[in-house]
Amino acid sequence: MKKFQVPNIYRSSLITAIKNKRKQDDKLKKDFSPTMIDLGPVQFYIARHFGFCYGVENAIEIAFRTIEEKQGKRIFLLSEMIHNPQVNTTLKERGVLFLQDTYGKQVIPFDEITGDDVVIIPAFGTTLEIEQMLKQKGIKTEKYNTTCPFVEKVWNRSEQIASNGYSIVIHGKPKHEETRATFSHASSTTPTVIVNNMADTIELGKYITGEKAAAMFYDEFKGMYSKGFDIEKDLQRFGVVNQTTQLATDTQAIAEYLKSLVMQHYKLNNETIGERFADTKDTLCYATNDNQTAVSAMLETKADFAVIVGGYNSSNTTHLVELCEEKMPVYFINNEENILSEKEIVHFNIHDKQEHLTKDFIPASIPVKILISSGASCPDSLVESVIRKFSSLFTIDKTLDEIEKHFF
């Protein structure tokens, strides 16, 4: 796989040593068990896969190279490069201006940019409408388009099945940048509708079977279907694609539910299902899948609590938290500063979208066992900082520098 030039501020010698050792010992990626760091009174179990994925490293390399090459030019980002506050803050500090926030709200009017400016398209991609607007302004985005190749894979698969007469159902968060971009691309070639979760899917299924009156669809799914969408005919043949950072098991469950419903409704079998339902399993992102599988394997280890590091608005990171909270206490933190002391930690609740202070979170029993992972947009340097901060709360038997040498 291609190696990217990522600034050293995001790298970690400790995490790199661990990842390289695991890669060397497990080239086929069949072992998803965590890596254990034993410091005596505290033990860390680090997920097999975590941190920057291919798409994120590609985006960061392009962004920082552009800053170096285009000094003196105004450089804009359509929205957040990735969902990590540290990376986005660094880009702002280096002069990059953000045109929109993460939900598409305008921060700087498009009228203020000209053909002399550089506009970077973030890893999530963007809509065809925005691409066309930039083109009309004479802004060339090809060199500065950091859209993740796995997002583009979803777009290409959507276009392929659309050419065979299928409509598209997108499993994604309707307000997420990637979902908005995928919706734009898919709906340009075929009728398209978004489902946020299984509850949405079940209700959509009732329109397919006729259990619900067609007229109700347009209010219930307002803002989530393409122009001219006809609920009575446009879901007679369709395929399911996803926002790549969704929980893979959720996408699979949604696809299987709709497939089963279609088979039953039209009295089809495994040989004839293709008449009504397109196979799109190949659109799941490898990194999302690997990170989620690694967290599931990590959770098989008996531990006191789990820590997930990353941006609070990161979809893929949020899903790692969801996996953890089914098994044990989990603390979703932005960086090591959230760990106030051995008594207090500030962490984000994914349900009420607020930070909370938890006291006495570290048990008195020794050793304290902590599971750790991070999202695909989280720098390894942050993970190391979190490990070092936790380590500083204990009188440890070995230093992390001594541990690091073990992995070389």
CA distance 88 to 79: 10
Mean pLDDT of 149-166: 95
The strand pair at 238-242 and 167-171 is best described as parallel
CA distance 300 to 32: 11
CA distance 65 to 59: 10
Residue 408: the pLDDT is 59
Query: Is pLDDT above 90 for 280?
Result: no
pLDDT tens-digit profile of 320-354?
A: 999 999 999 999 999 999 999 999 999 999 999 99
Residue 2: the pLDDT is 74
Query: Is pLDDT above 70 for 298?
Result: yes
Binning pLDDT at 50, 70 and 90, where does residue 1 land? low
Query: Order of strands, edge to edge, in the sheet holding 118-120?
Result: 97-98, 75-77, 118-120
Residue 268: the pLDDT is 94
Active site residue 178: yes
pLDDT tens-digit profile of 371-404?
A: 999 999 999 999 999 999 999 999 987 888 888 8
Same topology between domain 8-53+287-406 and domain 54-144? no
pLDDT tens-digit profile of 193-219?
A: 999 999 999 999 999 999 999 999 999
Beta strands in 35-100 (DSSP E): 35-38, 42-46, 75-77, 97-98
**Architecture of the CATH domain 149-284:** 3-Layer(aba) Sandwich (3.40)
Which one-letter amino acid corresponds to residue 59? Answer: A
Supply angle C-alpha 231, 237, 243, rounded to 5: 85
CA distance 161 to 151: 16
Assigned CATH topology for domain 54-144? Rossmann fold (3.40.50)
pLDDT tens-digit profile of 94-104?
A: 999 999 998 88
8-53+287-406 under CATH 1.10.3720.10, yes or no? no
The active-site residue out of 178, 322, 326, 344 is: 178
Query: Is pLDDT above 90 for 283?
Result: no
CA distance 171 to 198: 9
**Domain extents for the chain?**
8-53+287-406, 54-144, 149-284
Mean pLDDT of 71-75: 94
Please give the share of the chain, as a percent, with pLDDT higher than 70.
Answer: 99
Mean pLDDT of 244-259: 92
Mean pLDDT of 299-313: 97
pLDDT tens-digit profile of 308-321?
A: 999 999 999 999 99
CA distance 174 to 196: 7
401 vs 360: which has the higher pLDDT: 360
Token pair listed for 203 = 């209700």
Mean pLDDT of 53-63: 94
Kindly report the pTM of this predicted structure. 0.90
pLDDT tens-digit profile of 361-378?
A: 999 999 999 999 999 999
Beta strands in 288-360 (DSSP E): 305-309, 330-333, 344-349, 354-359
Residue 282: the pLDDT is 67
Please give the share of the chain, as a percent, with pLDDT higher than 90.
Answer: 88
Query: Is pLDDT above 90 for 285?
Result: no
Mean residue pLDDT of the chain comes to 94
Q: Which residue has the tokens 């291609």?
A: 2
What residues contact 320, with CB distance under 8 A and at least 6 apart?
A: 291, 292, 295, 308, 310, 373, 374, 375
